[in-house]
Amino acid sequence: MSGILNSSIGRKFAMALSALFLMVFLLQHFSINILSVLSPDTFNDVSHFMGTFWVIQYLLQPVLIIGVIFHFVMGFVLEIKNNKARQISYAKNNGGANSTWMSRNMIWSGGFILVFMIIHFIDFWIPELNTKFVVGDMSGLVDPNNIESGYRYHEELVHKFVPIWRVALYCVGFIFLALHLLHGFNSSFQSVGANNKYTKGLKGFSKIYAIGIPLGFIFIALFHHFNH
């Protein structure tokens, strides 16, 4: 692994693989969260399954968190290395002539997504870990002593989107996510060598994904804010 990461192409390849992995996660994350709008009972059941099934909790979730950390660290490493290479090889970077505005600003959109992720973890993930592993309540119930009280997941999620400031903050995060994906999705396919007769179709699909998924997240946040 360290051998791959020692070459510039290897680093780009590893970066692209982690990006593709995170995009699969994002689609999965969106599919579950849209259930909170479409069917609260199904959302509760799926959340409880995801939150308690050991394969997901102890195998897939750690892999995901390592993937997220790897992508951020590698993104900063690539940016620093690229900047150094650019200083040596070009007299000046000819701005829009040789790259798009978004491709040159991946580090900024990525940085804003990192801020969003930290806030998002404090809002959702850390309280979840706390309830399950510190308090020791794996029941998933509103009242752990009363089975009739039902699952707590939907209620907790809706509650988070009551303050308008959080909805606004999340929506800004989703817009940066769209900008990041608009360039990143295509770029990651190119880095893993998927440049063939399907390229045009992939480009179309990546645009739909890059705009559709963040728009869907915006819809979820606004829906819960106006329907609580």
Among 189, 206, 221, 225, the residue binding ligand HEM under the rule CB under 6 A is: 221
What DSSP state is assigned to residue 141? B
Stretch that binds ligand HEM, among 5-13, 61-69, 100-108, 190-198 (CB under 6 A): 61-69
The yes or no reply on residue 48 touching ligand HEM (CB under 6 A) is no
Cα–Cα distance measured from residue 30 to residue 37, given in angstroms and rounded to the nearest whole number: 11
Residue numbers 142-201 binding ligand HEM by CB under 6 A: 157, 177
> How much of the chain is helix, strand and coil, in % rounded to 5?
80, 0, 15
Token output for 207:
């645009």
Nearest to 1 by CA among 108, 88, 98, 74: 74
Strand, coil or helix: what is 197? coil
State which amino acid sits at residue 44.
N
The yes or no reply on residue 53 touching ligand HEM (CB under 6 A) is no
The yes or no reply on residue 101 touching ligand HEM (CB under 6 A) is no
Q: Which is nearer to ligand HEM, 64 or 192 (CB)?
A: 64
For residue 9, what is the enclosing H or E element? helix 8-38
The yes or no reply on residue 19 touching ligand HEM (CB under 6 A) is no
The yes or no reply on residue 79 touching ligand HEM (CB under 6 A) is no
The site for ligand HEM (CB under 6 A) is made up of 26, 29, 33, 51, 61, 64, 68, 113, 120, 124-125, 128, 157, 177, 217, 220-221
